A and B are shown apart, each in its own frame.
Chain A
Amino acid sequence: MGIVIFDGVAYGMLLFLIAVGLSITMGLMNFVNLAHGSFAMVGGYAASVLMSRYGVGFFPALAAAFVAAALIGAVLEFVFYRRLYKAHPLDQVLLSIGIVFVSIAVFTYFFGPTMQPFQLPPLLDGRVSLGGLEVGRYRLFLIVCGVLVLAVLLLGIGKTRYGAMVRAAVDNQRVAAGTGIHVQRLFFLTFSLGCGLAGLGGALSLGMLGLEPSFPLKYLVYFLIVVCVGGAGTVTGPFIAALLVGIVDMAGKYYWPEAGAFLIYVVMIVMLLLRPNGIVPRKGIA
């Protein structure tokens, strides 16, 4: 029982790490970005290639994953996304599905369709005893990462000048621009940050979910559930939703394997019926 919940929490943290960037782009910038998993994949492959081909350590590889995904995100924002912030959601959906398809094809071409090899670093290998529970070190590490990122984002968006500017620009772009905020640059930075977080999550998922070219489609629904059930545009909402999804999914697959895969969708539909704007709705959209 305890170990199922612990593993569920660790899984949830991983989902949170990847999906929180999506919550930022989808909620704050109102962009339906179905290609978020592609950015996670960029980070994951960057980390994997650096580790297996160039012998880079695990932690530097994580940092590199963040940078690589943020860079790709920045380029795509500059070329495509920024033209569509005010477009119809259908256009955003089409663009991002297009990016997903292209990314799957490109990664298959360069890396083949198989799962990326991954070796846990010795520090995170094995188990450790925690309150009478034998838990995997890697999973514990995931939980620590999740809580850290949550804290940093809450502080960053709630307390810093940058966060205040983002919130202002989201509420009213014209007024924000009038006060001298460079909205376009701000969105550019925020989008890249979201992609970087996705990349970090992608690299961390090497040890838990495994990474293959179909990753962006395979987990797309999970990221979307976390964001929509949690409440797009918030940080705490996806955190709660990711824990919920992680635990429900893990427990379902463990105790009730025949129906485990459905449980999550049932939870999603019930949650969206009860709270159409998410567990933690963003201020202003009642």
Chain B
Amino acid sequence: MKTFTLTPARLRGAEIVFWLALASCFFLLPDKLTLMSQILIFGLFAVSLDMALGYAGILTVGHAAFFGAGAYAAGLLAKHGWGEPFTGLLVALVVCAALGYLLSYLVVRGADLTRLMITIGVCVLLAELANRLSGITGGTDGLQGMAMWPVLGLFEFDLYGKTAFLYAFGVVLLMFLGVRLILRSPFGLALRGIHDSRKRMLAIGSPVESRLRMAYALSAAVAGVAGALLAQATQFVGIESIGFNRSAEVLIILVLGGTGRLYGGMIGALVYMLVHDAFADLNPEYWMFWLGIFLIAAVMVGRGGIMGALSRLAKRSAS
């Protein structure tokens, strides 16, 4: 049997194939485009969580706070007369980056337990806020009446989700490349160092706290863009886009794919959403049962999710 080794060139090839395969869905699965856009968006959301959790090692169970904040920011902008998509994304990005940077002062200090608590607390607080300010956010009915302008002034959002898919694909690819650039930069390497040994990074003079704060803010910004994308693609913001359940969901997606790996979030979203779609007729309670079983199994048996299993396979065949 011929051995197969993963060289950098082959990895790059695999990456290109991955994105081309996603893009080809536009032609191959024309009636599944809405689902595919959601997969892309949740993939981006999971990648943003991975920046904070997998790379910087900040334990957070409240990342939906930023996803929701971004969604509401873009949604409110569009509802009140400015439906230009890219400015919507930019506003969401800026709002969530600022929010994340402010919160990072609370999140980076303290022990894991306090951190967990603050992130859940802030997330529930924002969810409660979205629920109470129903005059602005629509409360449990969700934010309706968004009117999106054509992308680049040329492409109308259509009923079949063609424009939405291409738009989401383009934005997610760009954001993903941006995240990859950041994580491969010296800054990203420093994050890895902090994740592995905080003490050693302190000892070599690395400004650990400010780096973690920056990572958290960046991750919040990316999550906000993902939220805004979902709002624009569906022209609706539901109250469930913010809150603990959504946070748990994205955590599941990331763990399914594999934490601390660039493609973990994307692969996790792909598998999770496809399975979710296949089980869509199931009662939500039973769906929850299987999710729970999966989480327990993930901790007990599988380490590193799908990407972990793949890299183990690759190593085995290489040796």
A and B form one complex: yes
Asked whether any CB of chain A lies closer than 8 Å to the CB of B317, the reply is no
Residues of chain B within 8 A of A103, CB atoms compared: 292
| Interface residue? A133 (CB, 8 A) | no
Interface residues on chain B, number (Cβ under 8 Å) = 40
Contact between chains at A98 and B285 (CB < 8 Å): no
Interface string of A72-99 (1 = CB under 8 A from B): 0000000010011001011101110111
Per the bound structure, the CA–CA distance linking A213 and B283 in Å amounts to: 15
Residues from chain B with a CB closer than 8 A to the CB of A47 are: none
Q: Are A100 and B118 in contact (CB under 8 A)?
A: no
Q: Is A269 an interface residue (CB 8 A)?
A: yes
Chain A residues near B112: list those with CB within 8 A: 32, 89
Stretch at the interface among B122-130, B153-161, B223-231: B122-130
A95-126 residues with Cβ-Cβ distance < 8 A to B are 95, 97-106, 108-109, 113
Q: Which of A26, A87, A101 has the most CB of B within 10 A?
A: A101
The B interface, classified by DSSP as helix, strand, loop or mixed, is helix
A272 located at the interface, meaning its Cβ lies under 8 Å from any Cβ of chain B in the complex: yes
Number of A-B contacts (CB under 8 A): 119
Task: State whether B121 touches A104 (Cβ < 8 A).
Answer: no
Most buried by B among A32, A102, A225: A102
Let me know if B111 is at the binding interface, CB within 8 A.
yes
CB distance from A257 to the nearest CB of B (A): 10
Question: Would you call B90 an interface residue if the criterion is a C-beta within 8 Å of the partner chain's C-beta atoms?
Answer: no
Chain A CB within 8 A of B296 CB: yes
Instruction: Tell me the nearest residue of chain B to A108, going by C-beta.
Output: B285
A141 within 8 A of B: no
Q: How far is the CA of A285 from the CA of B286 in the complex (A)?
A: 42
* Docked pose: A217 CA to B114 CA in angstroms: 18
Fill in one digit per residue for B185-196: 1 if any A CB lies within 8 Å of its CB, else 0: 000000000000
Q: Contact check: which of B116, B125, B259, B299 meets A265 at CB < 8 Å?
A: B125
- CA A258 – CA B292 in complex, angstroms? 35
Per-residue A-contact encoding for B102-117, CB less than 8 Å = 1, 0 else = 0000100111111011
Which residues of B come within 8 Å of A, CB atoms?
A: 53, 59, 61, 106, 109-114, 116-118, 120-122, 124-125, 128-129, 132, 244-245, 248, 251, 255, 259, 285-286, 288-289, 291-296, 298-300
11 contacts between A and B (CB under 8 A): A90-B259, A98-B294, A101-B295, A105-B285, A105-B288, A108-B285, A220-B244, A221-B124, A228-B113, A265-B121, A276-B111
Residues of A with Cβ closer than 8 Å to B? 26, 32, 80, 83-84, 87, 89-91, 93-95, 97-106, 108-109, 113, 213, 217, 220-221, 224-225, 228, 232, 258, 261-262, 265, 268-269, 272-273, 276-277, 285
